[in-house]
Amino acid sequence: MALENSATKVLQVVKQDILAGVFAPGHKLKMSALKERYHVGVNPLREALSQLVVMQLVQVQDQRGYRVCPVSQSELIDIYDTRARIESLCVGLAIERGDQQWEADIVAAAYRLQANASLLQADGDLQSWEQLHQQFHYAIAKGCGSKELLRVRLDLYEKASRYRNLWLQHNAGHAAFDVNQKEHEQLVCAVLERDIKAAQSLISKHILVPSHVLQDLL
Amino acid sequence: MALENSATKVLQVVKQDILAGVFAPGHKLKMSALKERYHVGVNPLREALSQLVVMQLVQVQDQRGYRVCPVSQSELIDIYDTRARIESLCVGLAIERGDQQWEADIVAAAYRLQANASLLQADGDLQSWEQLHQQFHYAIAKGCGSKELLRVRLDLYEKASRYRNLWLQHNAGHAAFDVNQKEHEQLVCAVLERDIKAAQSLISKHILVPSHVLQDLL
DNA sequence: TTTAGAAATAATGTCGATACTTTAATGCCA
DNA sequence: TGGCATTAAAGTATCGACATTATTTCTAAA
């Protein structure tokens, strides 16, 4: 069961490579090179790249192949701005609808994040920390109970990944992460107290921090 | 310039056929049948279907091909609910940010919609009316100025199409459309007066009307 | 430098080989 | 005979190889 076809497998790994910056923004994705790298034929590759086009991570020019979507400051701002609003929406609905299990999951995720703060040191595994970070925020958002909203949220999270990785690297072993941790504590408090306005304000600001930092960098 | 490849062309038409209900929800999409219908080979077809999977209009089961995504009452409710919230977000931002050109475009789109109300009669072209209807609401929403938010909005609009078509057919030549027209007038007033709360409340209710009607039908 | 033509490179689509799934048929046993 | 498992056959999906067509690069003359 669950035998994945080549296209499905290669989609995951190409996507990761693009999000991780293995292929730079604007980079031409030649079939011959991709065939070599992933050891698959052109057909599964074309299927995977077609899907990445829909996800807006890859551009296609007819008869001229595929290339990684470029990044830009205006897109950075737009994505983070939209994420802040969508996440606010999720948090607001989650506070209205969340049950005790939801609360417990948030506390558990917050604990795991806190307990692994050492990952943020200069030589730490930032990607592992980011995974815990994402799981923490997802624990809050999933209380909204809307599959569609959570899908939109995930799309935007992934689209932001290329920019977020720049921020993570820039902040490695930096004091900015201390502030980040404090924001999480405040957010958990506001959420558990069911203070919608406060929680929305906090999450919105929290999401926009990397955007502000990166705007100065780009 | 603009030479489209087969996959790009076939994507549009398969998508339309699914949204229009030519292929029923759950219908198995066999390669042999699709090859025949659209006169293309399996590879362009697989590329197009892969993209429809990302758009969540088609499901893929490994080694078992593709089928049209099923519909359900819970998905209907979720999509319309999320649309109402996203559209509220767009309208709120648009009222904050819209300029005079934006206002003029809204008035123009409203006029066109009003002037073609006859399309709503029992023997009218409902799809043409729906196009004007969509253009009217887009004229309002685009004032939000966020490409990402407008993309999310469009995704949800398209995902709702299969359900919306049921509603359109059900209401053909019906009095429900009169109410609909009134709602548009009220919305334009609220928007031009820059009354965010009122406009958001109106648009939210307006979007949810088909959802309520269809819930009784399904 | 510019430009026309030719060669090389690359993208696209068709076809056929292989592997998997589904259906039909057969045989087994109560 | 009826129910059920096993096996054979038909129908599909998937993928890689090759042929075709388009683009890009190179070359050489003006």
**What is residue A121's three-state secondary structure?**
coil
Based on the fold, state whether residues A136 and A95 are members of the same structural domain. yes
Reported as a single tens digit per residue, the pLDDT across B139-158 is 999 999 999 999 999 999 99
Amino acid at B25: P
State the DSSP H helix or E strand holding residue A132, giving kind and residue range, or none if neither. Answer: helix A126-141
Asked whether the predicted pLDDT for residue B1 surpasses 50, the reply is: no
Based on the fold, state whether residues A148 and A190 are members of the same structural domain. yes
User: Residue B87 corresponds to which tokens in the numbers above?
Assistant: 């559209």
Reported as a single tens digit per residue, the pLDDT across B40-65 is 999 999 999 999 999 999 999 999 99
Asked whether the predicted pLDDT for residue B205 surpasses 90, the reply is: yes
- Under 8 Å between Cβ of B102 and B90: no
Of B55, B82, B146, the CB nearest to A146: B82
Q: Chain A residues with CB inside 8 Å of B56's CB?
A: 151
Based on the fold, state whether residues A93 and A169 are members of the same structural domain. yes
Question: What is the reported pLDDT for B199?
Answer: 98
Based on the fold, state whether residues B46 and B151 are members of the same structural domain. no
B26, B50, B68 - which closes a domain: B68
Q: Chain A residues with CB inside 8 Å of B155's CB?
A: 152
HSE-CB at B108 with a 13 A cutoff on CA atoms is 9
Instruction: Confirm whether B1 is domain-assigned.
Output: no
Instruction: Confirm whether A1 is domain-assigned.
Output: no
B26, B45, B68 - which closes a domain: B68
Instruction: Confirm whether B180 is domain-assigned.
Output: yes
Parent domain of A102: 73-217
Question: What is the reported pLDDT for A1?
Answer: 42
The total number of structural domains that make up chain A: 2
Interface of B with A (CB under 8 A): 2-5, 7-8, 43, 46-48, 50-51, 53-56, 60, 62-63, 75, 78-79, 81-82, 85-86, 89, 146-149, 151-152, 155-156, 159
User: Residue B109 corresponds to which tokens in the numbers above?
Assistant: 């789109």
Instruction: Confirm whether A160 is domain-assigned.
Output: yes
User: Residue B70 corresponds to which tokens in the numbers above?
Assistant: 């099923």
Rounded average pLDDT over A171-188:
89
Query: In terms of C-beta density within 10 A (0-12 exposed, 13-18 middle, 19 or more buried), how is residue B107 classed?
Result: middle
Asked whether the predicted pLDDT for residue B190 surpasses 80, the reply is: yes
Reported as a single tens digit per residue, the pLDDT across A130-160 is 999 999 999 999 999 999 999 999 999 999 9
